[in-house]
């Protein structure tokens, strides 16, 4: 046992442009990231599990209207919400995932419930919601996910006839995620999203797909992704990074950079990842203008950043 913990979170790659973000918006995003980091660290520093820390961090980000997950999720073309999430335990390789849920307040919590189920890994739509109620998880009225900000984005997207990755006309990704190493040397990863503004109903992205938007195994690393989901699925991003670490002996940063800056760029995919390994190394890699992100270790104070150069 190293006696170290480490935690990294993201709130999506492809942020508001530096020239467009107001000081108030920047402060709000950073405050929400800091809050999530504190929630996670309070669990890790007293010996809590990486899995608990990941779930708690993501819940905190899902409850914020700022990010495209949980409360702040974007609208589908049909003016509904279809949320998805996944979580994986590096110690046991157990995983849980949900997709196309419209009444689950915290999809990451439902994913966690499923992770402990011996029968399922992945549930979607009405079946996932039924599973939630069967396990005493209260569903919310879909109106909980309504925000003017997101509705206006949908209207703008429909007018332009485009499918948008989070905010306005730019390519923006607001998905949330967390990766953690706990004091018992266990890793975990999780990811949660509302998907794409104006997406076709039934569309599922990488965020809930184990190996694409989320992956954790103690033998390599924990990874959570954000970006243009279709490219992340085709590149099997999260597992690819873990495989480079495990089979090729690449460092976490080398593996993350190879997949994000080379492989993904070649295909035309935009986005990034947060990763952590059992030596408490953290690597953050993105090929977008920015990525809402935060990180800390037992030896290093919490830091948050939005743009390329640490701000
Ligand atoms: N990866 C997400 C998706 O394609 C979007 C995001 O990261 O914001 O659904």
Per-residue pLDDT of 172-230, as tens digits, reads 567 999 999 999 999 999 999 999 888 899 999 999 999 999 999 999 999 999 999 99
Residue of the nearest CA to atom 4 in ligand 1? 229
Residues 6+ apart with CB under 8 A from 150: 72, 73, 74, 75, 194, 197
Q: Identify the weakest region by mean pLDDT among 4-13, 129-138, 140-149.
A: 140-149
Candidate from 175, 264, 271, 290 with most ligand 1 atoms within 8 A of CB, to mutate: 175
Q: 226 CA distance to ligand 1 centroid (A)?
A: 5
Ligand 1 atom closest to the Cα of residue 207 is 1
In this prediction, residue 168 has a pLDDT band, given cuts at 50, 70 and 90, of very low
* 157 SS3 class: helix
pLDDT digits (tens, 9 = 90+) for 59-116: 999 999 999 999 999 999 999 999 999 999 999 999 999 999 999 999 999 999 999 9
| Number of domains making up the chain | 1
> DSSP assignment, residue 272?
E
Q: Is 174 in the pocket of ligand 1 (CB under 6 A)?
A: yes
> The domain containing residue 68 runs over which residues?
6-307
Report the C-alpha gap between 96 and 74 in whole angstroms: 22
In this prediction, residue 169 has a pLDDT band, given cuts at 50, 70 and 90, of very low
Q: Is 206 in the pocket of ligand 1 (CB under 6 A)?
A: yes
Report the C-alpha gap between 92 and 216 in whole angstroms: 9
Q: 116 CA distance to ligand 1 centroid (A)?
A: 25
Mean pLDDT of all residues in the chain? 93
Q: Is 73 in the pocket of ligand 1 (CB under 6 A)?
A: no
Alpha helices in the chain (DSSP H): 23-44, 50-62, 107-115, 125-134, 148-160, 229-234, 237-248, 252-257, 264-267
- What pLDDT, on a 0 to 100 scale, did the predictor assign at position 157? 83
* 231 SS3 class: helix
Q: Which residue has the tokens 């007018």?
A: 159
Q: β-pairing, 290-297 with 6-13?
A: antiparallel
Q: Which residue has the tokens 């998880």?
A: 137
User: What CATH number corresponds to the domain at position 50?
Assistant: 3.60.20.30
Report the C-alpha gap between 242 and 221 in whole angstroms: 6
3-state secondary structure 10-32: EEEECCCCCCCCCHHHHHHHHHH
Residue of the nearest CA to atom 7 in ligand 1? 226
Domain-embedded: residue 169: yes
Domain-embedded: residue 212: yes
Domain-embedded: residue 112: yes
Which residues have a catalytic role annotated? 175
Domain-embedded: residue 201: yes
Domain-embedded: residue 18: yes
Which pTM does this prediction carry?
Answer: 0.95
Q: Assess whether pLDDT exceeds 70 at residue 133.
A: yes
Domain-embedded: residue 1: no
Q: Is 190 in the pocket of ligand 1 (CB under 6 A)?
A: no
Domain-embedded: residue 231: yes
pLDDT digits (tens, 9 = 90+) for 258-268: 999 999 999 99
Report the C-alpha gap between 104 and 243 in whole angstroms: 33
Share of the chain above pLDDT 90, in %: 82
Show the tokens assigned to 209.
């797909």
Q: 165 CA distance to ligand 1 centroid (A)?
A: 7
Beta bridge mates, 192: 85, 176
Report the C-alpha gap between 50 and 6 in whole angstroms: 9
pLDDT mean over 284-303? 96
Show the tokens assigned to 80.
């509904």
Beta bridge mates, 227: 271
Domain-embedded: residue 247: yes
């Amino acid at each position: 046992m190293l006696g170290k913990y480490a935690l990294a979170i993201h709130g999506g790659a492809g942020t508001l442009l530096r020239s467009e973000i107001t000081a108030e918006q920047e402060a709000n995003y950073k405050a929400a990231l800091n809050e999530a980091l504190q929630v996670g660290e309070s669990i890790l520093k007293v010996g809590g599990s990486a899995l608990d820390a990941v779930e708690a961090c993501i819940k905190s980000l899902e409850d914020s209207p700022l990010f495209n997950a949980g409360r702040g999720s974007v609208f589908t073309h049909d003016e509904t919400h279809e949320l998805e999430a996944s979580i994986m335990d590096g110690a046991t390789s157990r995983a849980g995932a949900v997709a196309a849920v419209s009444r689950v307040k915290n999809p990451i919590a439902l994913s966690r419930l499923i992770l402990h189920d011996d029968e399922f890994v992945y549930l979607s739509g009405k079946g996932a919601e039924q599973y939630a109620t069967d396990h005493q998880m209260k569903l919310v009225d879909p109106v909980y996910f309504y925000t003017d900000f997101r509705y206006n984005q949908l209207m703008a997207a429909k007018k332009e006839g485009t499918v948008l990755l989070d905010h306005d006309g730019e390519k923006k990704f607001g998905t949330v995620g967390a990766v953690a190493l706990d004091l018992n040397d266990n890793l975990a990863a999780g990811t949660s999203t509302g998907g794409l503004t104006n997406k076709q109903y039934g569309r599922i992205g990488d965020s809930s797909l184990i190996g694409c938007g989320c992956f954790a195994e103690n033998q390599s690393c924990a990874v959570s992704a954000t970006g243009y989901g279709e490219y992340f699925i085709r590149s099997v991003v999260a597992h690819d990074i873990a495989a480079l670490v495990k089979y090729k002996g690449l460092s976490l940063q080398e593996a993350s950079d190879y997949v994000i800056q080379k492989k993904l760029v070649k295909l035309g995919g935009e986005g990034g990842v947060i990763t952590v390994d059992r030596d408490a190394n953290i690597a953050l890699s993105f090929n977008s203008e920015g990525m809402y992100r935060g990180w800390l270790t037992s030896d290093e104070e919490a830091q948050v950043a939005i743009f390329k150069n640490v701000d």
